[in-house]
Amino acid sequence: MNLKKIPKDIAFLTKACMPVRKRIKNNVIAKMKCILVENDGVGLAAPQVGLDSRLILCKESPESENIHVMLNPVIEEKEGLEIDAEGCLSIPDLAVDVPRQTRIKVTYSDENLNEKNIVAEGYFARVLQHEIDHLDGILIIDRGLDNGFFYKGKQLSKNEVDKKFLK
């Protein structure tokens, strides 16, 4: 299990994932946690490590040590709107201005398939939306605003980003 990066693995990262029907093996979750921490990430979705499962791991902030494990997450409610820059472990060195809701309610199953819900605001809401997008095959490139793409600090057009990453 390795972190999938664009452009080599673009096909896998741009398709919707299958729902989780049974418990995920603990070693899979442990390995994903290691990948998340080793890459200084705040979120990681199953397709980013080659798994066709609706599974995400998220931290509430970069400083948080608590990692939420969510199976089959669904955004039930959303409100507010804010534009901010996002990065992605699968697209190193790219920052994209992305509009996101500022408050969301998400229902999901935990590692033991118990149904749960959580209300997230601000940064955590943004992280959850980013990771849930991965489960639907949506990348920050797809959500980015015109003139909001920056690669290694240099502004690129949407067309340039598409050519560079989506070949």
Domain of 89, in residue numbers: 10-165
CA atoms within 13 A on the CB side of 157: 3
What pLDDT was estimated at residue 134?
97
Query: Residue 42 forms beta bridges with which residues?
Result: none
CA distance 143 to 14: 13
- Assign 7 a pLDDT band (cuts: 50, 70, 90): low
Q: How many domains does the chain have?
A: 1
CATH number of the domain that residue 144 is part of: 3.90.45.10
Task: pLDDT band for 122, please (50, 70, 90 cuts).
Answer: very high
Closest of 61, 83, 78, 75 to residue 127, by C-alpha: 61
Question: Could you read off the pLDDT of 63-90 as tens digits, one per residue?
Answer: 999 999 999 999 999 999 999 999 999 9
- For residue 2, the model assigns a pLDDT of 85
Q: Which tokens hold the place of 102?
A: 């500022």
In the prediction, which pLDDT does 9 show?
73
Residue of 63, 79, 115, 131 marked active site: 131
Residue 59 lies in a domain: yes
- In this prediction, residues 12-19 reach a mean pLDDT of 93
- Residue 109 is assigned to a structural domain of this protein: yes
Segment 24-42 mean pLDDT? 94
Q: CA torsion sign, 136 to 137 to 140 to 143? A: negative
Give the pLDDT of residue 81: 98
SS3 98: strand
Mean pLDDT (the chain) is 94
Q: The tokens of 79 are what?
A: 């409100």
- 115 an active-site residue? no
Confirm whether 82 is domain-assigned: yes
